[in-house]
């Protein structure tokens, strides 16, 4: 099955966004790990400050109190920093969901720190040495240090949990990116081979099967032999494809080329583009007709016949192995026309669409009979909307 270059590059665009997303996720995990280290350093720093507070020199009471007040204020700042750091800990917040526990620990740490500060202040403001007050200070020191140790252990366990989550996610992202990179490297290499194939002019071209739909369509158009090009009476002068006479003549020569194939007949009409109600200037009209004819011709295979048979109508006689494949190719043509862009000074950017009637020509029916039936289906298609190709089953479904 041939791939569409357009879809390949759309998927490639999505893949690039996926790589960007993967980079953001990986960065968040590294940021989280760095925050965990910052929290551990913060707690260790608090332990160091508290230890210094319990060993201040009492000889110079005024200097001691100045040092004590500075260290006490620093302790509260360190606790506030811990609160601030958690705002950026997205994994802990949304995956581990430990916010309530974390802030409860900070509240308790703040209480133990305040209790230690009060006992330490009483101890240092009293000039007389007291074993009871020294014992209380050591007890308060032990309580706050023990709690900080417990917070460090929790932080370590959370770090381990985060690492395991990060490891699994990064492994998955790595293998997805690896497989996608291998796939797109192979795909882009195939597209490049298609381009090389289209540039070749020797007989080796016949040994290569195009990978993409677009290259296949262009190759078919390049290889086909236009049997009516030497007779101006069979050519539409504006679009340089068959007119109605050319259609009949070309079909008579090609109809027996592939007897095992089915023959589909489709009448396409440009929506809101009638000869009696010309909306656009002549140069714009001619440009639209030429581009549509060229777009249709890109999908023409050697056994197909295409023609412009009316002002805004084209007839496509396709030979394909199955009815489904014929209709699929018609849908590709319709979508390709809808994607064309036209810019005009009066109307700005224009989007042109076509509607159509699709039939499979029975072997015992004439081409004219199939065209007549396709036009009846086209007439119904125009009443139910635009940019649609309907089949005879659609008429039967509606009870027509």
Q: Which residue has the tokens 């002002």?
A: 311
Position 203 scores a pLDDT of 44
* Contact (CB, 8 A) for 343 and 332: no
Note the pLDDT tens digit of each residue in 329-385.
Answer: 999 999 999 998 887 767 677 888 999 999 999 988 999 999 999 999 999 999 988
Query: What's the order of all strands across the beta sheet hosting 305-308?
Result: 305-308, 313-320, 262-270, 354-360, 389-391
* Contact (CB, 8 A) for 16 and 188: no
Say what percent of the chain tops pLDDT 70: 88
Q: Which residue has the tokens 């000074």?
A: 345
Note the pLDDT tens digit of each residue in 283-326.
Answer: 888 989 999 999 999 888 888 999 999 999 999 999 998 999 99
Q: What is the DSSP string of 153-185?
A: HHHHHHHHHHHHHHHHHHHHHHHHHHHHHHHHH
Q: Which residue has the tokens 């030979």?
A: 319
Collapse the DSSP code of 87 into the 3-class scheme (helix H, G, I; strand E, B; otherwise coil) and give the result.
coil
* Contact (CB, 8 A) for 326 and 320: yes
Joined tokens for residue 361: 């020509």
* Contact (CB, 8 A) for 293 and 239: yes
Position 264 scores a pLDDT of 95
Least confident of 245-249, 259-263, 266-270: 259-263
Report the C-alpha gap between 149 and 117 in whole angstroms. Answer: 19
Collapse the DSSP code of 360 into the 3-class scheme (helix H, G, I; strand E, B; otherwise coil) and give the result.
strand
Note the pLDDT tens digit of each residue in 136-195.
Answer: 888 888 888 888 888 888 888 888 887 888 888 889 999 999 999 999 999 999 999 888
Domains of the chain in sequence order: 5-185 (1.20.1420), 227-397 (3.30.70.270)
Neighbours of 164 (CB within 10 A): 10
Under the banding of pLDDT at 50, 70 and 90, the label for residue 93 is confident
* Contact (CB, 8 A) for 171 and 180: no
Q: What is the DSSP letter of 134?
A: H
pTM above 0.75, yes or no: no
Strand pairing category for 354-360 and 389-391: parallel
């Amino acid at each position: 099955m041939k791939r569409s270059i357009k879809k390949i590059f759309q998927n490639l665009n999505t893949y690039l966004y996926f790589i960007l997303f993967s980079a953001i996720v990986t960065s968040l995990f590294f940021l989280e790990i760095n925050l965990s280290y910052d929290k551990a350093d913060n707690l260790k720093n608090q332990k160091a400050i508290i230890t210094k507070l319990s060993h201040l020199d009492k000889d110079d009471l005024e200097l001691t109190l100045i040092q004590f007040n500075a260290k006490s204020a620093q302790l509260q700042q360190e606790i506030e920093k811990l609160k601030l750091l958690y705002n950026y800990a997205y994994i802990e917040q949304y995956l581990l969901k430990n916010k309530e526990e974390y802030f409860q620990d900070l509240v308790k740490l703040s209480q133990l720190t305040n209790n230690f500060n009060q006992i330490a202040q009483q101890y240092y403001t009293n000039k007389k040495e007291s074993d009871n007050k020294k014992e209380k200070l050591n007890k308060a020191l032990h309580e706050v240090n023990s709690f900080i140790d417990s917070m460090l252990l929790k932080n370590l366990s959370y770090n381990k949990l985060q690492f395991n989550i990060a490891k699994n996610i990064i492994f998955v992202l790595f293998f997805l990116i690896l497989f996608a990179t291998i796939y797109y490297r192979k795909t882009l290499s195939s597209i490049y081979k298609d381009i090389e194939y289209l540039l070749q002019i020797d007989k080796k071209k016949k040994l290569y099967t195009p990978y993409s739909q677009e290259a296949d369509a262009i190759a078919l158009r390049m290889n086909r032999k236009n049997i009516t090009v030497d007779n101006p009476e069979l050519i539409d002068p504006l679009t340089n494809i068959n007119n109605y006479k050319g259609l009949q003549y070309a079909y008579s020569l090609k109809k027996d080329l592939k007897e095992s194939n089915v023959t589909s007949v489709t009448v396409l009409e440009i929506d809101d583009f009638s000869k009696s109600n010309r909306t656009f200037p002549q140069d714009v009209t001619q440009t639209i007709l030429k581009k549509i004819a060229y777009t249709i011709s890109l999908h023409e295979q050697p056994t197909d016949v295409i023609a412009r048979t009316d002002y805004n109508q084209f007839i496509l006689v396709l030979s394909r192995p199955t009815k489904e494949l014929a209709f699929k190719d018609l849908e590709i043509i319709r979508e390709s026309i809808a994607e064309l862009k036209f810019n005009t000074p009066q109307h700005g950017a224009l989007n042109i669409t076509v509607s159509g009637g699709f039939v499979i020509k029975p072997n015992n029916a004439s081409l004219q009979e199939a065209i007549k039936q396709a036009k009846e289906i086209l007439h119904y298609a125009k009443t139910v909307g635009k940019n649609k190709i309907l089949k005879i089953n659609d008429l039967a479904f509606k009870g027509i």
